[in-house]
Amino acid sequence: MADMIERTTMRVATAEKDLLSRFDPLIAEREALLATGVRDPFAIVMDQVKSPTLAVIKGKDTILLGTYNYMGMTFDPDVIKAGKDALDNFGSGTTGSRVLNGTYQGHKEVEDALKEFYGTRSAMVFSTGYQANLGMISTLAGKGDYIILDADSHASIYDGCALGNAEIVRFRHNSVEDLDKRLGRLPAEAQKLVVLEGVYSMLGDIAPLPEMVAAVRKHPNCMILVDEAHGMGFFGAHGRGVYEELGVEDEIDFVVGTFSKSVGTVGGFCVSNHPKFEVMRLVCRPYVFTASLPPSVVATAAASIRKLMHASAKRAHLWENSKRLHKGLIDLGFTLGTKEPQSAIIAVILTDQTQAVAMWQALLELGLYVNMARPPATPAGTYLLRCSLCAEHSSEQVGQILAMFEQAGRITGAIPA
């Protein structure tokens, strides 16, 4: 093994250029960053996870403020029991595609739970949320069609566009006027798919969906897909997402979501009332040509979704946490991604990468884990710490988080001493 590694290393060292050389600037940037003595922000290992809000990192209890575990379902006893029972009764995996041998009882049960949760006639489960966007977008819009999307759309949305063969049209982030203008320039007879997100994951801002829907409906041959990955669970009377909260349920053709946020496991889905929706199971390549989710995963998802139908108290507490943390950080002098709390995501904007890394490490050493984000995941020139609140964060923990941000901010100069 060691000899094989050494031979490969020597071969690469003697070559002037190979397929990985395009990443040399990024490699150099990362090496320079690590040479300053900081921990690698993108290689943190959680040695133990004690609860939805607490983990052990390098032997130290650490409050988790960098997960998408919005509703804290990962340690729910009923959810865990459902997974254990399915593991015992159906084994560890399906070893097959949904259209072959990969549909078990649990896959139908989780789709039934989704239909009940969203009040739709159809639900289709993918192996990840990424694949849900990849599959739906690339399959719905083909050659001669148009996909119109927000410039700040998630990578999975852009990759869904790349996999398909439609023409891509971007509009300025959350700009109703630009969306309307660009739709007006397209051929009236062409089929169009408008892709929106309920919550945008970097800054935590929400889309003005009623105004956007009204703009879209002025133009012919348009369908609307909304990604509610970060809205499911705590927006709306039933927790369906921003589109429910803002009253446009009847205007949305397709809702895409994920199990890896509020549901607390892994997987993706699309729900719809379109009468022809079931044909997607036969024509959607990321659904047809991949293995289905393990029985234990779909069982945990179904149990979690059914509990989220009755989680109004959790939703209320999560909003309390979001409002308190947002106000507290503003009062400390931090610059945030939104003027008011709009979701469970709160983005702390820093001046540059050096300051962002310094703040991130200072917080980690104090016992708080947050996500550091930088371009290309963020808008050009934007470096931030992304905080993701959980319904299981106690009032005491929110107070501790604010104290840690104050201490780290003064240490690093992110806020005045």
Q: Report all structural domains of the chain as residue ranges with CATH numbers, in order of start.
A: 36-71+312-412 (3.90.1150.10), 77-308 (3.40.640.10)
Strands 335-336, 345-350: parallel, antiparallel or unpaired by DSSP?
A: antiparallel
pLDDT band at residue 374 using 50, 70 and 90 as cut-offs: confident
pLDDT of residue 118: 98
Task: Return left, alpha or beta for 191; rule: phi > 0 is left, psi -120 to 50 is alpha, else beta.
Answer: beta
Q: Could you tell me which residues come within 8 angstroms of residue 389 by beta carbon, excluding any fewer than 6 positions away? A: 65, 70, 318, 321, 322, 325, 344, 345, 346
Confidence at residue 387, expressed as pLDDT on a 0 to 100 scale: 97
* Range with the poorest average pLDDT among 57-71, 336-350, 363-377: 363-377
Instruction: Tell me the angle at which helices 395-412 and 312-332 cross, rounded to the nearest 10 degrees.
Output: 20
70: pLDDT strictly greater than 70: yes
What's the pLDDT at 5?
63
Q: What secondary structure letter does DSSP report for 250?
A: G
Q: Please state which of the ranges 21-35, 158-172, 184-198, 255-269 shows the lowest mean pLDDT.
A: 21-35
Mean pLDDT of the chain: 94
Q: What is the mean pLDDT of residues 63-86?
A: 98
How wide is the angle at C-alpha 234 spanned by C-alphas 229 and 239, nearest 5°? 85
Tokens of 166: 């439609």
Whether residue 350 contacts residue 76, with contact meaning beta carbons closer than 8 Å, is answered with: no
Q: Average of pLDDT values for 186-201?
A: 97
Burial zone of 108 (CB within 10 Å; 0-12 exposed, 13-18 middle, 19+ buried): middle
- Can you read off the two tokens belonging to residue 66? 């960098």
The single-letter code of the amino acid at 118 is Y
φ and ψ of 182, to 5 deg: -70, -35
pLDDT higher than 70, residue 7: no
pLDDT at 124 over 90: yes
State the pLDDT at residue 224.
98
Please, is 367 exposed, middle or buried when counting C-beta atoms within 10 Å of its C-beta (0-12, 13-18, 19+)? middle
Res. 350: pLDDT tops 90: yes
Gyration radius (Cα) of the chain, Å: 22
> In the predicted model, is pLDDT for residue 292 greater than 90?
yes
Counting Cβ atoms within 10 Å, is residue 239 exposed (0-12), middle (13-18) or buried (19+)?
buried
The per-residue DSSP string of 154-197 comes to: -HHHHHHHHHS-SEEEEE-TT-HHHHHHHHHTS-TTS-EEEEEE
Q: Quote the CA–CA distance of 123 and 74 in Å, as a whole number.
A: 23
- Listed in sequence order, the residues at least 6 apart from 383 whose beta carbon sits closer than 8 Å to its beta carbon are 349, 350, 351, 352, 353, 355, 356, 372, 373, 374
Place of tokens 């234990």: 296
